[in-house]
Amino acid sequence: VLPPPWTLIPIPAPMFGRDNELKDMLSHLMPNKPLCIAILGPGGMGKTTLALHFLNTGNVTNAYHSQLFISCKGRNSLDELLLDIAEQVGIPSEQRKEYLQNQILGALKKLPTIIWLDNLETLWEPVTLCTITEDFLNHLSSIQTLGFIVTIQGNQWPNGVTWPQPLLKLLPALKIESSLKTFENIVGIQPDENVQRLLKEVEGVPFAITLISNLIRDEAESPEALWSRWQKEKTKVLETGQDRKSSLTISINLSFNSPRMTEDARELLYLLSFLPDGFSNRNQMLEDIQRYILQFRQALTVLKSVALVEIDQQ
pLDDT in tens, 37-86: 999 998 889 999 999 999 999 999 999 988 899 999 889 999 999 999 99
What CA–CA distance (Å, rounded) separates 262 from 22? 34
Instruction: Work out the average pLDDT over 210-216.
Output: 90
Q: How confident is the model at residue 20 (pLDDT cuts 50, 70, 90)?
A: very high
CA angle 108, 113, 118 (to 5 degrees): 95
Instruction: Work out the average pLDDT over 90-106.
Output: 92
Helices (H), 90-146: 100-109, 121-124, 127-141
> Taking 80 as the threshold, does the pLDDT of residue 124 lie above it?
yes
What CA–CA distance (Å, rounded) separates 238 from 209? 10
Q: Give per-residue pLDDT as tens, 153-193.
A: 988 999 989 898 888 889 999 999 999 999 999 999 999 99
| Residues 21, 168 contacting (CB under 8 angstroms) | yes
Give residue 246's pLDDT: 53
What CA–CA distance (Å, rounded) separates 14 from 185? 8
Spans of all domains in the chain:
19-153, 176-250, 260-305
| Measured CA distances, 58 to 53, 68, 96 (Å) | 10, 17, 34
* Residues contacting residue 235 through CB under 8 Å, at least 6 positions apart: 208, 248, 249
- Between 3.40.50.10470, 2.60.40.1930, 3.30.720.120, 3.40.50.300, what CATH number should domain 19-153 receive? 3.40.50.300
Q: How confident is the model at residue 2 (pLDDT cuts 50, 70, 90)?
A: very low
- CATH, domain range 176-250: 1.10.8
Domains 19-153 and 176-250 share a fold: no
> Taking 50 as the threshold, does the pLDDT of residue 1 lie above it?
no
Q: Is the dihedral of CA 141, 38, 245, 4 positive or negative?
A: negative
Give residue 96's pLDDT: 92
Residue of 70 and 249 predicted with greater confidence: 70
The pTM assigned to this predicted structure is: 0.83
Instruction: Work out the average pLDDT over 253-263.
Output: 82
What average pLDDT does the structure give for the chain? 88
> Taking 90 as the threshold, does the pLDDT of residue 30 lie above it?
no
HSE (side-chain half, CA atoms, 13 Å) at 145: 14
What CA–CA distance (Å, rounded) separates 156 from 142? 21
* Residues contacting residue 95 through CB under 8 Å, at least 6 positions apart: 103
Instruction: Work out the average pLDDT over 265-286.
Output: 82
* Residues contacting residue 142 through CB under 8 Å, at least 6 positions apart: 34
| Measured CA distances, 32 to 65, 144, 168, 287 (Å) | 15, 6, 21, 52
Give residue 31's pLDDT: 77
